[in-house]
Amino acid sequence: MDSKQAELWSGCSYLQTILANKAGFCAGVRRAFQMTEEAGRDGYSWSTLGPLVHNDEVVQYFANSGIPPVDRLEEIQTAGIIIRTHGVPPDIMAQATALGIQIKDATCPLVARIHEAAQLLIQEDYDIIIFGDTEHPEVKGILGFCQERATVIADADQARVWRGGRKLGLISQTTKDESQFYEVAAVLLPSATEIRVINTICSATRQRQAAARELAQRVDLMLVIGDRNSSNTKTLTMECQKTGVRTWQIQSAADIYPEALTGVDKVGITAGASTPDWIIKEVLDRMMEFGDGAPQEQQEVKPAIENESQETGENAKEENFARMEAEMADLAMPNKGDIVKGIVIQVLDDEVMVDVGGKSEGIIPLREMTTKDANSAKDLVKIGDELEVLVLRWDDDGTILLSKKKVDSKRAMDKLEEDFNAGNMVDGTITGSVKGGLLVDVGVVAFLPASHVEDGYVKNLEDYIGKAYKFNIIEFNRHKKRGSQIVVSRKKLVEEERARQKEEFWASIQEGQTVRGRIKRIVDYGVFIDLGGFEGLLHVSEMDHVRISHPADVVKEGEEIDVYILGLDRDKQRVSLSRKKLLKSPWEIVLEKYSEGDIVDGKVVRIAPFGAFVEIEPGVDGLVHISQLANRRVEKPQDVVSVDQMIKVKILSIDPQEKRIGLSIREVAQDLDDIEVQEYLEQQEQPEQEQELISEDAGGVSAQLQESPEAESPDQE
């Protein structure tokens, strides 16, 4: 400090500097900064399309690193292009792709959200108003998504002279003043029959403005650090000026001169979203030259600090400035491993941006949102939701990487540990199968061994996927490195439930009842059926009235059927079942279906010396006596019929008591002959009638011939 400065500040040894708690790089700028730094290390040559951000020092930093800005794609001398935070119209992206230029898109996610909003409004047939600066690159990029259906309005005065249309959509440049945005919206309301307002102002912009306004009311001078071309810095400056405090916009520490600080006791400092941390630190270092008070954070300023002793002030100065330097180096709280609450301020498909109250927003990647499968973060949360998140790390660019999944898992593990220690059951849903068992969602992923799915062997584990059950935790080890930390079981619960059902079953079951059961197992000699707590045997002989080769020909596992309680052995706890009892017997069917004299189709099933047995219904055979085989004497039935031959037979007699049916082939032939004779006779009657008609016609013709003078007799011929 020279002698003039010393003279100016001889009476100002307690100058206090306070830094706004929201200042400097926003998450979008940090993201772009990190992407560009990474590009400089990947071995390719890159340029930025226009200044990466509106800050000359940042642009020069990357130019010195070999990543220069270019104004047009035609000027590119590098292999790839980095799209600036402000975004570009879609035709620029298409042009770069057509030219074979590699692209890294550093467009701020909030700007990309405006592009999506513009496309949505166009699809829904809205005309668009953009509240912003016509020449701002962000606005130029937005216009490219509006298909020439957008108008840019800079303020409420321009909105008053705008002539509206039928449907109007209002969006904003991210760095504009929110109160002015709503003023424009209010002016436009009468201008259209329908207006849709989408607030696309960046949350970081709102937070910085609010912090700056609050700080400005407590200081004598506000320093706003930022590039002269930075829109959000200009907005910050105007917000501070509106409070009535003297406000000074500077680009760097070099712009601070002592004369302007005469009579100032408290200085507030804020910075635009594109202002790098090293410039803010340089300004803070510069302010240290003008007083003994170390820079303070906005939320930690205490009125009593000016009355502290010199010794206390010195200690506080060193401690506070060290902490401030740590914060400027992105080492500020919250620390890695902290669980903090945050408010969702943006939701994209692949990530969620959360305000956690620090100088930078945090990002939750989709993979850290939930333990379940999810295609988009939009299906999980919405803007304004409060979340508990775990700080995974601070990236080099200052972005906080967060995890909701790990907080949810920790909370779930804590609850599961309590349930395990208390022996409580837990609810879960089976989500998939792995070797040896199933995976269960109980808040975290647990393992269900195949031997613990039921109280016996399970043939197909896939049948359980998607179903919800209660489980016992049989193993819990949250520090286990390999294998499952949580192992669950249904076996004991199933056994207890079956014991209860078994008791209820024996208390209510009686012979002669008809009950419904599920086929559990099929064996050669029958079927075991679950009757709800107890299994009964349906023997193959009781499955149907006809002979069955194998039970699987009639029923299948898992099928539900009605069965008749045929017998109970309570001592040995055995239940005999019958399905046959509930089915009509073949003889009942025959009596309902057939009568004596009917001619039916049948199959020869057996031949005896005295005739042939013919099946007319499954399980019902009738006898065609040898005398009824043909209209002639038959020596052997084989001379007329053969086994498995399909024939027509006439029912001669039905004896339900003896269960005998008499059949005849001969009478079928006789009946057919009778039918043929009758048909012949009917046909013979037809020609006689026709002959009479012909005779009548001939008589008429003869009469006509006799009356005609020109007719000649046959004799004359």
* Beta carbons of 36 and 82 less than 8 angstroms apart: yes
Q: Which helix (H) or strand (E) holds 509?
A: none
User: 142 vs 47, 115, 431, CA distance in Å?
Assistant: 22, 6, 43
Lookup: tokens for 11: 């009476």
By C-alpha distance, which of 301, 304, 353, 302 is closest to 324?
A: 301
Compute how many other C-beta atoms are within 10 angstroms of the C-beta atom of residue 436. 11
For 571, residues 6+ apart whose C-beta sits below 8 A from its C-beta are none
HEC letters along 137-180: HHHHHHHCCCCCCEEEECCHHHHHCCCCCCEEEEEECCCCCHHH
Angle at 155 between CA 149 and CA 158, to 5 degrees: 65
By C-alpha distance, which of 330, 234, 232 is closest to 278?
A: 330
**Per the residue annotation, which of 138, 239, 327, 542 is the catalytic one?**
138
Residue 138 is a catalytic residue: yes
HEC letters along 610-667: CEEEEEEECCEEEEEEHHHCCCCCCCCHHHCCCCCCEEEEEEEEEECCCCEEEEECHH
Q: How far is CA 490 from the centre of its chain?
A: 29
| Burial status of residue 294 (CB atoms within 10 A of its CB: 0-12, 13-18, 19 or more) | buried
3-state SS class at 194: strand
Euclidean distance between the first and final Cα of the chain, in Å?
163
Active site residues: 138
